[in-house]
């Protein structure tokens, strides 16, 4: 009877040999598919979430109405559309009350993404609205009620049209994050624009055309749309959405990608371990088949098809298990999740499949193939010349394959490189360790405490195998440490960004003579407020003596633009100096400090001169420094900061920010009535929204971390298992010779603890580098070394490996030695 | 000295119970030399393992020098072996991670002997492996490994020495030499010898022969 792959596998299965490999394969595939399906579904959800800040998936902005053909094309693709139009205009009420408001007209279906919120009274509790105001009615910003002295049901007029006040508008998903020059909002229906007669050709208006639909269709639509855009029409997608939340979501996505990539590496390691065990255990099998006359071709075919069969069976089961894992997860945690999980597509399963086959091919196949070529006796006696055994090349090949898989998975070479850097460091240090173990003199001298000698002799004698194992343990621990570290720094940063008492209201246009009474009023209500910033309005007119064009085209970088200036003696909190020098206190020099991107747009560097127009007076200043701002913070930020003396003679107003709890909102009514000229801008709902999303994203990250930790623990278990055979055999021989429990367990404990110590140390070093690379290259965060990582990593290595090792070997001291030996 | 009463060993195999030893009764006096003979598969190695406390019997008991092995736990039996018993495995069971010398030193070190090294060298020389002290098991031939295993069993000068086919892999001259060594030990120290062998000449030199067949004592 011919030996076929199926028959060999069936025999192997009965003999219990195959169980380990199959289990490892299934588990690895399940982990990688489960985690990547899990993360891509979360990612899809987060992506969806980020769209809410556009109120759509993509938006086109324009100064003129956009062609109806765009909407028709979108509708033919089953893409939803909505339109908005914003412009400043006076709002009039009874008794000649009027105020310059920022009008926004919205069509039906607005917003396509996210939530519009209103309340039935000014500053009352906000609730989600299914739709904007009906034709003929308007919703007013809460503070307009006091400014115009109107209440619900009263009439106000805009241009030639009169509207009934129906509600207070509290938040829009696509609220502009810019807090300057923003009048209070009046929300009306899109179809009422014509009646107002205020929008004329040439008025300063912004049309927005909103689109939302299935990602694939949107993609198609955008490809169709882009060539038709006119100058002045701009396509916005998520990246141009809310800057505050955008980078948080982006980092969360990077984290999820990283987690998935690590799952690929972990799975690769697990398969490599199992494959190694498989090929080791089949060494005799190959030799005996050869001595019985099997040709190397026949053996190659046999093992080739066996591995293929195995791979197919295990990946199928693994994919199914992975699918179950993530489906179970979402089923259990759905209600705690911020967002509805999106679809994962088949990519995760393709990745699981490819990972399994690549790893089998790289880790199980080469040694078996080489064995097939060697002479049977040499195989049986394990007397193989070095190059014929499992070689370094195999591992390098495997590592390369895993790297390629990781890159394929993440599509982000910087992220992949950062992880590979850590892996490479682990491997290089591990090789160094192996060499020093192998080269170091034998430890024969230490005969006194024979526990130690036994343990160390064992460690040393199996130097290369142990070093390999240390490397594998170190890799698993490193990946876990990296993930824990990143999670911690991400969450810390987010929390620092939005402390519970973060300012959530801004006050602008405070006249110098009002300063005292405003601060008194805040203090009497014990409302904490930030510093007061002076504000001077002006316009940038020229750069290095060259006049800038006056245009509304936002595409054009160098153009005249209005800006708010402030003065300060010292660098404002949260700012970072990138170039140049900050002025000395009391400087009278005509100099300015610019925000990084603002300087870039105007093409300005330190040493250039800028011509300004402030209150109809020209002023020429020299750029003395460039600053980076923290746009994530809800603090007042300024593009241009001057020495106090330079702006001293210009008319200035002041601004500040303060924190108000929900139950204190009625204070605003009082404030506005007392100081009608002051502008109050509510950011509380936005801040709440951002905080809620960040909480949710943090929860998702914790969840992924937990899953990966479990996967990493499984790899450690598999790694320990793989090393147990040899140790069990030795221990039972010792046992037969009469060694006591203490000696055997002590020796094993020392051996595993030493390996754990090295693994922990390598892991910590590598993790530190990897995290550095990830934070600096990928997440654009600042890196700080983490001293607590060192004891943690090392303790983790020692405890985990010793614990798992002793647990796996416990049988050695509880069962008779012959029974143990027979089972190996 | 060694007493086996109604010793039985059964194992479960593929759902069926396989009876390997079917109630062995045996008494071996101190200083006696006994050969266990019988066809392959008759249960010789199993019996030897049970007598040495390397495995647990399914029923019956083994008493050595007033100690009932079944009453001890695994650790107690290990300590007992360290003090009283030497064992030569049919498949040698040398530690691949240790050199020949270190393998032989092991039982001595386990007993905390300070002269472990000299003693081990001495016994390796007696099995004619003086020049191979620092070689690893995989560098030795089958017969050489067997001799290391024998030296290891001798080294701690046990009161009872069990040897499972100690000459199985040896040529007749070396085999002869090893057998002489065994009996010398028996003479010099009064060591009890229990050997499993297919070698008639060796069996003849023992004071008693126990023949096993199909898990039972056929004749003495
Ligand atoms: N743990 C076990 N599981 C299954 N069968 C076993 C086990 N231990 C022993 N046997 C069987 O019991 C029988 C006796 O085994 P044993 O090793 O004692 O034979 P033996 O007399 O030493 O043979 P040989 O002379 O070939 O060494 C054999 O058929 C063997 O296969
Ligand atoms: Mg036998």
Nearest-neighbour CA in chain B from A476: distance (Å): 27
Contact A736/B54, CB-based, under 8 Å?
A: yes
pLDDT in tens, chain B (220 residues): 899 999 999 988 777 888 999 999 999 999 999 999 999 989 999 999 999 988 888 999 999 988 999 898 888 888 888 889 998 988 888 877 778 998 898 888 777 778 888 999 999 998 889 898 888 888 888 888 988 999 999 888 899 999 998 888 778 888 888 888 888 888 888 899 999 998 888 899 999 999 999 988 887 7
Choose one of B24, B41, B165, B166 to mutate for the ligand 1 pocket test, by most ligand atoms within 8 angstroms of C-beta: B41
End-to-end CA gap in chain A: 29
Mean pLDDT of A215-239: 85
Q: Which of B75, B142, B155 to mutate to test the interface with A (most CBs of A within 10 A)?
A: B75
As a whole number of angstroms, the distance between CA A300 and CA A696 comes to 52
**Residue whose token pair is 């030695």:** A817
Pick B97's closest partner by Cβ from A461, A740, A815: A461
**Do the strands B192-196 and B33-38 form a parallel or antiparallel pair, or are they unpaired?**
parallel
Is B97's CB within 8 Å of A740's CB?
no
By the 8 A CB rule, do A359 and A353 touch? Answer: no
Q: Give the 3-state secondary structure of residue A542.
A: strand
Report the run of H or E that residue A492 belongs to, with start and end. helix A463-497
B78·A730 Cβ contact <8 A: no
CB atoms inside a 10 Å sphere around CB A2: 6
Q: What gap in Å lies between CA A761 and CA A252, rounded to an integer?
A: 28
Q: Whose CA is nearest to atom 30 of ligand 1?
A: B41
Q: Which candidate, A693, A42, A703, A695, places its Cα nearest to that of A340?
A: A42
What phi and psi, each to the nearest 5 degrees, are found at residue A105?
-105, 130
Cβ(A536)–Cβ(A648) below 8 Å? no
CA–CA gap between residue A161 and residue A138 (Å, rounded) = 11
Tally the residues of chain B: 220
**pLDDT band with cut points at 50, 70 and 90 for residue A445:** very low
Q: What is the pLDDT of residue A449?
A: 45
Closest CA to A556 of A232, A239, A236: A232
pLDDT at residue number A387 = 42
pLDDT tens digits, A21-70: 777 778 778 878 887 887 778 777 777 777 777 888 889 988 888 999 99
When pLDDT is averaged across residues A302-330 and rounded to a whole number, the result is 86
A741 contacts in chain B (CB < 8 Å): 74-75, 78
Check residue A529 and report its DSSP letter.
Answer: B
Residues of A near B (CB-CB distance < 8 A)?
381-383, 444, 447, 450, 453, 457-458, 461-462, 726, 730, 733-741, 743, 813-819, 821
Average per-residue pLDDT for chain A: 81
CA–CA min distance A48, chain B (Å): 57
* A538-586: pLDDT as tens digits: 888 888 888 887 765 555 567 777 778 888 888 887 788 888 888 888 8
Hey, which bits of A155-231 come out as E strands?
A: 155-158, 161-171, 185-189, 206-212
Asked if residues A642 and A587 have their Cβ atoms less than 8 Å apart, the reply is: no
Question: What sections of A169-282 are H helices per DSSP?
Answer: 193-196, 215-225, 243-281
**What is the predicted pLDDT for the residue at A31?**
76
pLDDT digits (tens, 9 = 90+) for A79-106: 999 999 988 889 999 888 888 888 999 9
Q: Pick from A565, A699, A648: which is nearest to A256 by CA?
A: A699
> Under 8 Å CB-to-CB from A91, ≥6 apart: which residues?
A98, A99, A100, A101, A103, A140, A144, A148, A156, A157, A158, A186
Residue A447 has its nearest CB partner, among B54, B85, B109, at B109
Q: How many helices (H) and strands (E) does chain B have?
A: 7, 10
Dihedrals phi, psi of A453, to nearest 5 degrees? -65, -45
Q: What percent of chain A has pLDDT over 90?
A: 14
Distance CA A294, CA A168 (A): 86
Task: Find the B149 Cα to ligand 1 centroid distance in Å.
Answer: 21
What's the rounded Cα separation, in Å, for the pair A285 and A239? Answer: 58
Instruction: Mark B43-72 as b/e (b = at least 16 C-beta within 10 Å).
Output: bbbbbbbbbbbbbbbeebebbbeebebeee
Domains of chain B with bracketed CATH: 2-219 (3.40.50.300)
Calpha distance A191→A189 (Å, rounded): 5
Closest CA to B73 of B47, B53, B48: B53
Question: In this structure, how many other beta carbons lie within 10 angstroms of the beta carbon of residue B17?
Answer: 9
- Spell out a b/e string for A208-227, using b for 16 or more CB atoms within 10 Å of the CB, else e: bbbbbbeeebbeebeeebee
Contacts of A739 in chain B (CB under 8 A): 78, 82, 110
Q: What span, in angstroms and rounded, lies between the C-alpha atoms of A621 and A638?
A: 16
Highest mean pLDDT among A87-91, A672-676, A701-705: A87-91
Q: With 50 as the cut, is the pLDDT of residue A1 above it? A: no
Q: Is the interface score ipTM higher than 0.95?
A: no
In this prediction, residue A233 has a pLDDT band, given cuts at 50, 70 and 90, of: confident
Q: What is the pLDDT of residues A611-665, one digit of tens each?
A: 988 888 888 899 999 998 776 666 777 888 999 888 888 888 888 888 888 888 8
Question: Which DSSP category does A349 fall into?
Answer: H
């Amino acid at each position: 009877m011919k030996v076929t792959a199926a028959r060999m596998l069936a025999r192997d299965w009965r003999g219990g040999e195959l169980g380990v490999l199959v289990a490892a394969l299934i588990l690895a595939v399940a982990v990688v598919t489960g985690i990547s399906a899990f993360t891509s579904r979360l990612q899809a959800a987060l992506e969806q979430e980020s769209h809410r800040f556009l109120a759509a998936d993509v938006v086109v902005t324009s100064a003129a109405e956009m062609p109806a053909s765009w909407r028709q094309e979108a509708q033919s693709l089953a893409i939803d559309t909505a339109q908005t139009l914003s412009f400043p205009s006076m709002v009039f009420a009874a008794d000649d009350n009027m105020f310059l408001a920022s009008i926004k007209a919205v069509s039906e279906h607005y917003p396509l993404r996210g939530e519009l919120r209103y309340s039935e009274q000014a500053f009352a509790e906000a609730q989600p609205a299914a739709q904007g105001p009906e034709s003929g009615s308007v919703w007013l910003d809460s503070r307009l009620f006091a400014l115009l002295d109107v209440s619900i049901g009263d009439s106000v007029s805009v241009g030639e049209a009169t509207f009934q006040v129906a509600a207070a508008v509290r938040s829009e998903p696509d609220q502009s994050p810019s807090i300057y020059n923003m009048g209070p909002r009046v929300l009306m229906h899109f179809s009422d624009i014509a009646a107002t007669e205020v929008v004329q050709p040439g008025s300063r208006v912004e049309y927005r055309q909103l689109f939302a639909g299935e990602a694939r269709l949107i993609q198609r639509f955008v490809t169709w749309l882009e060539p038709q855009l006119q100058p002045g029409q701009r396509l916005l997608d998520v990246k141009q959405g809310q800057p505050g939340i955008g980078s948080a979501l982006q980092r969360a996505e990077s984290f999820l990608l990283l987690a998935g990539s690590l799952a690929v590496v972990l799975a690769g390691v697990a398969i490599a371990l199992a494959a190694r065990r498989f090929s080791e255990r089949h060494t005799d099998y190959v030799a005996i088949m050869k001595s019985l006359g099997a040709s190397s071709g026949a053996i190659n075919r046999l093992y080739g098809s066996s591995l293929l069969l195995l791979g197919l069976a295990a990946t199928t089961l693994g994919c199914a298990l992975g699918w179950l894992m993530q489906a179970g997860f979402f089923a259990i945690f759905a209600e705690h999740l911020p967002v509805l999980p999106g679809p994962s597509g088949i990519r995760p399963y393709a990745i699981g499949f490819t990972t399994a086959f690549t790893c089998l091919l790289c880790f199980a196949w080469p040694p078996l193939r080489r064995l097939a070529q060697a002479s049977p006796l040499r195989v049986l006696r394990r007397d193989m010349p070095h190059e014929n055994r499992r070689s370094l090349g195999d591992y390098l090949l495997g590592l390369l394959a895993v790297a390629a898989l990781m890159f394929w998975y993440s599509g982000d070479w910087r992220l992949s490189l950062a992880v590979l850097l850590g892996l490479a460091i682990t491997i290089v240090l591990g090789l160094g360790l192996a060499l020093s173990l192998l080269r170091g003199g034998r430890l024969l001298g230490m005969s006194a405490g024979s526990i130690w000698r036994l343990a160390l002799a064992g460690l040393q004698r199996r130097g290369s195998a142990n070093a390999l194992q240390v490397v594998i343990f170190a890799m698993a621990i490193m990946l876990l440490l990296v993930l824990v570290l990143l999670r911690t720094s991400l969450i810390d940063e987010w929390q620092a960004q939005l402390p519970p008492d973060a300012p959530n209201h801004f006050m602008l246009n405070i006249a110098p003579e009002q300063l005292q009474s405003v601060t008194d009023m805040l203090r009497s209500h014990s409302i904490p407020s930030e510093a007061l910033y002076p504000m001077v309005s002006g316009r940038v007119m020229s750069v290095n003596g060259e006049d800038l064009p006056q245009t509304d085209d936002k595409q054009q970088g160098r153009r005249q633009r209005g800006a708010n200036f402030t003065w300060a003696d010292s660098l404002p909190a949260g700012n970072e100096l990138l170039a140049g020098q900050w002025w000395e206190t009391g400087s009278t020099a005509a100099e300015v400090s610019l925000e990084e991107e603002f300087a870039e747009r105007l093409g300005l560097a330190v040493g250039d001169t800028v011509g300004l127009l402030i209150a109809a007076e020209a002023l020429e200043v020299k750029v003395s420094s460039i600053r980076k701002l923290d746009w994530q913070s809800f603090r007042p930020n300024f593009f241009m900061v001057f020495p106090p003396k330079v702006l001293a003679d210009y008319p200035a107003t002041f601004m500040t920010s303060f924190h108000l709890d929900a139950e204190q909102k009625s204070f605003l009514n009082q404030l506005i009535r007392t100081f009608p000229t002051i502008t109050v801008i509510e950011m509380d709902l936005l801040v709440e929204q951002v905080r809620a999303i960040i909480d949710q994203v943090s929860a998702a990250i914790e969840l992924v971390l937990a899953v990966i930790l479990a996967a990493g623990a499984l790899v450690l278990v598999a790694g320990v298992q793989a090393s147990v055979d040899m140790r069990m055999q030795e221990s039972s021989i010792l046992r037969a010779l009469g060694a006591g429990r203490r000696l055997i367990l002590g020796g094993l404990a020392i051996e595993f603890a030493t390996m754990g110590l090295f693994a922990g140390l390598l892991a910590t070093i590598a993790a530190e580098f990897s995290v550095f690379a990830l934070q600096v290259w990928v997440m654009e965060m600042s890196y700080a070394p983490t001293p607590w990582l060192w004891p943690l990593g090392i303790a983790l290595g020692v405890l985990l490996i010793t614990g798992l090792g002793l647990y796996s070997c416990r049988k050695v001291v509880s069962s008779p030695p012959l029974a143990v030996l027979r089972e190996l | 000295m060694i007493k086996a009463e109604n010793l039985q060993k059964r194992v479960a195999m593929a759902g069926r119970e396989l009876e390997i030893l079917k109630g062995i009764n045996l008494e071996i006096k101190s200083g006696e030399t006994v050969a266990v003979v019988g066809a392959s598969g008759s249960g010789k190695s199993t019996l030897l393992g049970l007598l040495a406390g390397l495995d647990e019997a399914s029923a019956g008991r083994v008493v050595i020098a007033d100690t009932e092995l079944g009453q001890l736990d695994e650790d107690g039996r290990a300590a007992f072996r360290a003090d009283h018993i030497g064992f030569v495995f049919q498949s040698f069971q040398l530690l691949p991670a240790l050199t020949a010398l270190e393998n032989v030193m092991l039982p001595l070190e386990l007993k905390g002997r300070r002269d472990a090294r000299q003693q081990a060298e001495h016994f390796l020389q007696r099995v004619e492996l003086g020049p191979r002290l620092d070689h690893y098991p995989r560098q030795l031939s089958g017969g050489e490994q067997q001799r290391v295993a024998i030296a290891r069993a001798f080294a701690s000068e046990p009161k009872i020495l069990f040897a499972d086919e100690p000459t199985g892999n040896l040529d007749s001259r070396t085999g002869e030499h090893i057998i002489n060594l065994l009996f010398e030990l028996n003479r010099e120290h009064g060591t009890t010898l229990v050997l499993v062998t297919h070698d008639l000449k060796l069996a003849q030199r023992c004071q008693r022969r126990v023949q096993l067949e199909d898990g039972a004592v056929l004749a003495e």
